[in-house]
């Protein structure tokens, strides 16, 4: 969560100033509590709804060839972490792509499908078969130079064939840990620091094509929005206007950023070029704090956090300005909103009973559901298939299924302050 903190000096009503100071004090207290909790907490795996009911029972045999057992282990972990598979143990059996499964042994485990294959250097010949019908369901040759990513791609193929939904195991995540911006595989492994600073880095945001990350750095003595090129390692300043520049969010076509600027004395939402420059378009106009924008997938408008109703809540507005409508009503504060890839759901961090939890609501019905119970759960971000949500969990990383049926921790480095799940890439 980010918020501009520069107080206005011109024509702001006394009621607005009081609310502005009040929300700053509340958010400052929240941040202090957050970092105390981070220092005290241990990251533990929590599985909710983790029984075998309503899950796909599957056997993953050790693959034949170099690193075959390790690749199979990664696939098993991926499928388990989705919360949609009940992965069965076949006792370390190795089965190549041209082999014949032991159907009786597979049936005894309770598995209804079996995945197996052969590793050939940087490719895998993979098979998926139905145990009851003793028939092949899928056969692919999947190539990837990096071993872990190769395993993730095989897991994606299994997931998509089984569920009909594209898998997210080969995608990437980004998170900030104090003074570092980190990129990792979706399972938290393969971590790489892509930016570091002498001051705090916050608010990571992926470009739609996955080649760039926007973030906020305080190294210039105030919040400034940067864009990091992940291929070249270079970065550019996207927003460095008067006052605070914060909370970047990419437009669906990747050409613009919605940002929170306090250049007029109080934080409002503007549209700026992702490549930098002085051009800007104001999207909100209120006497209260407006921050944390996020685009609808079709580019029709944004959601954002605002104090205009007396407490931090989520609103939506079009890109042409006009009145904003409130979207959240449960919880004393609701912040850090994100829209699902299909545009149908809203996820956010909600203050309920003195604790921040991740909540989700339907944009059609308005009904909401609390997904987590960690007490200090922040910065939610949808997986690109909309099935799971990544979030900062008490200084670590957590994932939760969008229906609340499964929850787990993800390994991370440092004290996580913000998280973002990257897009699908080719």
DSSP states along 35-76: HHHHHH-------SS-SSTTSEEEEEPBPBSTTHHHHHHHHH
Statement: residue 15 has pLDDT above 80: no
Alpha-carbon distance 259 to 282, whole Å?
10
Provide the pLDDT confidence category of residue 365 given band limits of 50, 70 and 90: confident
Q: Exposed, middle or buried by CB within 10 Å (0-12, 13-18, 19+), for 354?
A: exposed
Q: Exposure string (b/e) for 5-30, b if CB count within 10 Å is 16 or more?
A: bbebeeebeeebeebbeebbebbeeb
**CATH fold of 172-422, please?**
Neuraminidase (2.120.10)
Alpha-carbon distance 255 to 253, whole Å?
6
Q: Of 23-37, 197-211, 312-326, 344-358, which gets the smallest average pLDDT?
A: 23-37
C-alpha torsion angle, residues 401, 407, 408, 414 (rounded to 10):
80
Mean pLDDT of the chain: 89
Residue 320: the pLDDT is 86
Residue, of 45 and 151, whose pLDDT is higher: 151
Statement: residue 345 has pLDDT above 90: yes
Upper half-sphere CA count for residue 31 (Cβ side, 13 Å): 13
Domain boundaries, the chain: 49-163, 172-422
CA separation, residue 73 to residues 80, 113, 171, 205 (Å)? 11, 17, 18, 31
- How far from chain centre, in Å, is Cα 274? 21
**CATH node for 49-163:** 3.40.50.10070
Each residue's pLDDT tens digit, 106-147 = 999 999 999 999 999 999 999 999 999 999 999 999 999 999
- pLDDT above 70 coverage of the chain, percent: 88
Q: Does the global pTM surpass 0.85?
A: yes
Average pLDDT, stretch 191-216? 98
Edge-to-edge strand ranges of the sheet holding 355-362:
333-339, 345-352, 355-362, 368-370
Residue 141: the pLDDT is 98
């Amino acid at each position: 969560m980010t918020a501009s903190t520069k107080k206005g000096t011109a024509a702001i009503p006394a009621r607005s100033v009081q609310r502005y100071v009040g929300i700053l004090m509340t958010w400052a207290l929240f941040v202090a509590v957050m970092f105390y909790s981070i220092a005290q907490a241990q990251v533990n795996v929590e599985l909710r709804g983790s029984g075998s009911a309503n899950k796909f029972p599957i056997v993953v045999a050790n693959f034949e060839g170099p690193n075959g057992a390790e690749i199979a282990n990664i696939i098993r972990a991926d499928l388990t972490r989705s919360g949609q598979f009940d992965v069965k143990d076949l006792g370390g059996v190795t089965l190549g792509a041209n082999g014949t499964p032991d159907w009786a042994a597979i049936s005894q485990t309770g598995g209804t499908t079996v995945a197996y294959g052969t590793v050939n250097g940087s490719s895998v010949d993979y098979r998926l078969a139905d145990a009851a019908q003793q028939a092949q369901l899928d056969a692919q040759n999947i190539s990837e130079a990096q071993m872990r990513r190769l395993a993730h791609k095989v897991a994606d193929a299994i997931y998509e064939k089984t569920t009909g939904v594209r898998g997210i195991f080969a995608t990437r995540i980004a998170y900030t840990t104090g003074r570092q911006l980190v990129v990792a595989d979706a399972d938290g492994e393969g971590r790489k620091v892509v930016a570091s600073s002498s001051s705090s880095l916050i608010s990571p945001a992926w470009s739609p094509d996955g080649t760039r990350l926007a973030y906020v750095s305080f190294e210039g003595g105030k919040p400034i929005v940067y864009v990091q090129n992940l291929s070249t390692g270079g970065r550019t300043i996207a927003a460095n206007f008067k006052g605070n520049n914060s909370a970047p969010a990419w437009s669906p076509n990747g050409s613009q950023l919605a940002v929170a600027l306090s250049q007029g004395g109080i934080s409002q939402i503007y549209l700026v070029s992702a490549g930098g420059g002085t051009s800007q378009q104001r999207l909100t106009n209120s006497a209260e704090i407006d921050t944390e924008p996020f685009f609808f997938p079709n580019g029709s408008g944004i959601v954002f956090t605002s104090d205009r109703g007396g407490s931090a809540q989520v609103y939506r507005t079009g890109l042409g300005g006009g009145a904003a409508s409130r979207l959240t009503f449960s919880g004393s504060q609701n912040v850090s909103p994100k829209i699902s890839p299909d545009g149908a759901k809203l996820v956010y961090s909600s203050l309920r009973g003195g604790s921040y939890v991740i909540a989700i609501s339907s944009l059609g019905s308005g009904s909401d559901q609390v997904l987590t119970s960690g007490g200090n759960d922040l910065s939610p971000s949808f997986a690109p298939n909309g099935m799971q949500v990544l979030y900062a969990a008490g200084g670590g990383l957590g994932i939760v299924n969008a229906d609340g049926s499964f929850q787990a921790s993800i390994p991370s480095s440092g004290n996580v302050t913000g998280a973002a799940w990257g897009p699908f890439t080719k």
